[in-house]
Each structure stands twice: as structure tokens, then as C-alpha cells.
Amino acid sequence: METTCLTDSVNATIGSAVPSANTSAYLAIRTGRVNCAARFYPALYQLMLVRNGVEEKVDLGFSGSRLLERLVRNPGEVVTREELMSHAWSDRVVGQGSLNQQIYTLRQVLGDEKNREIIQTLPRRGYLLNPNYLVPEAVTAAPEQPASEPVNTALIVPTGLVARPAVYGANRFLPFALLGLLGLGWLSWFYQSHRPVELYNSELRMGNVSVFYRDANKERLQHLIHNTQTLTQRLSELAQQPTRLFLENRGDFYEMLCLSEGGHHHLMTFHSSQLGRIVDEQLRQCLR
């Protein structure tokens, strides 16, 4: 009897380990195989396939993960081939063959290589991800914790920033997830964690933009604020409506969530080496 989700032609690591809490944000996706579910971890560039209690970890690689991340960002909307190549291979020029191969690999991993119902091809237009295959995850509140001692550590930040050390429970981004309950849909799926973690916050207001920084380390938070100053300044100049930005450092990568007043949201993930190469059009897409 078949107990796993993958065929032998797809490389996978089978086991019971799950990603650590600080990288446990995932999207749940139905696959084309019976009783097989997938969890997509953008920060880890991985899919975790689960069937009959057996877990299979599939490493998508940077380009494959970026490709899937771009498709799930706007489920049901057509993404052009050019935009997908620019997003998944932002550091180099590739041909249509590379995109075709990555799309085929993703379909194979998701059990969609025959029916092509999950990742759909629109001739001469591009690709879209079928929203019917995204699985909403329930937002679970953190268990009540005993009152902790007040944190007495002051965080020195530039003038105009408000820093608030805080302890977050099972959902590091619970405020954002609660917004999802008010109509943001799958936004809350990205931010699920499984253990308490102490986070330091800073807030900066620039024109139409309110920027919220957070990190578990005070020194890294300072670096995050400093390294993204030019980026946030550009965003404030481009923003046409009130927008909230949530910035976090994940190793060598930055994650930026753009949340507009109208409830639209976009997630950008980019390597620290690409910080100075992000073009205005990419920022405008995030601000829409």
C-alpha cells in the first residue's frame, strides 16, 4: 500500500522532524494525490508532504520556492512568464526552458503533472495557482501564560522610533492574523509559531507609511532599521495611500509584508545582497 506522497523520481527526506518555531510560517496546499497534504515553508524553501502520518520534506531550492511563493501571493490571478522569471531568478537572466522545468517540478511534487489543476497554464499569458487548492488554517490563540516579570531592558533607537520589548505566544504575528479574521483571508496562514519568543519592536512613521520592525535580538533590530532606511524612504515616497509595512530579518533574507488601508496585502522576500537592486515597480506592486 502506498503510504507516502511522492514517487521515486522526486527527491525527498522522510522523517518526523518539523521546522523550528522561528521559521514555521507555512501555507497549506491540497495536492493531486489522495489524502496527501502539503505545507509550503517559504523561509526554508521547502514543502512538507504529509500522508498517513508520514512526512516527506522536499527541498525546492531558492528559485523553485520563489516561483511558488509568487504564484500563491495572488491565487487565481494570472502571473506572466516574464514576471515569474524576474521574481524567481532576480540575480540572473534565464530562458523559458528554466521556467518550464521549474513549473514541471512543482507540478510533479504536488501530484499535478497530469491534470495540471493546481498550477494552471494560460496560453500566451502565463500561469496561475488555483485558489481551490489553498487550505485555510484556523487561527489559534496562544494558551494563557502566567504573568511574567516586567522587562527592564531599554532599547536605544533613532529619534522618532518607539521600541517595545514584548513576549509573544504561539503566534508571533497574532495582531496581523486577527486582521485576517476581519477579511484578509490567507494572510494569517503565513504567521504560525509553536513556542513563546521574546521580540523587540520599533515603529517608524514616514508620510503614508507606518513601518513596524521586529526581532528577537536588540542588536539585529538596530541593524534591520539601519540597513533598510533607504528602502523605507523609497516606499514612503511611492505610497499613494496609508500603508503598514512589517519588516523582519530571517538570516540572510528580509521579509516585508505590505498591508494597505483597503485590506490588500503582499509579501516580499529578498536576499540582503539584493536590497539595493529592488526596482520601484516591485515596490509599487507591494504597495497596491
> Domain extents for the chain?
13-135, 162-287
Most confident of 56-65, 179-188, 247-256: 56-65
**In which residue are the cell numbers 517540478 written?**
105
- Predicted local confidence at residue 160, as pLDDT: 36
Residue 217 to residue 201: CA distance in whole angstroms: 10
Residue 28 to residue 72: CA distance in whole angstroms: 11
- Predicted local confidence at residue 142, as pLDDT: 36
Instruction: Give the confidence band of 4 by pLDDT, cuts at 50, 70, 90.
Output: low
- Predicted local confidence at residue 10, as pLDDT: 55
Residue 131 vs residue 272, higher pLDDT: 131
Average pLDDT in the 229-245 region? 90
Residue 245 to residue 257: CA distance in whole angstroms: 6
Whole-number average pLDDT of the chain: 74
Residue 243 corresponds to which cell in the numbers above? Answer: 500603508
Range with the poorest average pLDDT among 2-16, 73-87, 100-114, 166-180: 166-180
- Predicted local confidence at residue 159, as pLDDT: 35
Residue 69 to residue 278: CA distance in whole angstroms: 17
| In the predicted structure, residue 2 carries a pLDDT above the cut 70 | no
* Yes or no: domain 13-135 corresponds to CATH 1.10.10.10: yes
Average pLDDT in the 24-39 region? 86
| In the predicted structure, residue 80 carries a pLDDT above the cut 90 | yes
Instruction: Give the confidence band of 24 by pLDDT, cuts at 50, 70, 90.
Output: low
Residue 160: exposure state from Cβ atoms within 10 A (0-12, 13-18, ≥19): exposed
| In the predicted structure, residue 76 carries a pLDDT above the cut 50 | yes
| In the predicted structure, residue 168 carries a pLDDT above the cut 50 | no
- Predicted local confidence at residue 84, as pLDDT: 92
**C-alpha neighbours within 13 Å on the C-beta side of residue 9:** 9
Query: Which amino acid is residue 77, in one-letter code?
Result: E
What pLDDT, in 10s, does the model give residues 113-146? Answer: 888 999 999 988 999 999 999 887 533 333 344 4
pTM: 0.47
Query: Rounded to an integer, what is the distance from CA 247 to the centroid of its chain?
Result: 12
**In which residue are the cell numbers 514517487 written?**
7
What pLDDT, in 10s, does the model give residues 169-209? Answer: 444 444 444 444 444 444 444 444 334 446 688 888 988 89
| In the predicted structure, residue 222 carries a pLDDT above the cut 50 | yes
Are 266 and 252 within 8 A, CB to CB? Answer: no
Residue 111 to residue 94: CA distance in whole angstroms: 26
| In the predicted structure, residue 107 carries a pLDDT above the cut 50 | yes
Are 232 and 209 within 8 A, CB to CB? Answer: yes
- Predicted local confidence at residue 25, as pLDDT: 73
Average pLDDT in the 44-54 region? 87
User: What are φ and ψ of residue 153, in 5° steps?
Assistant: -80, 125
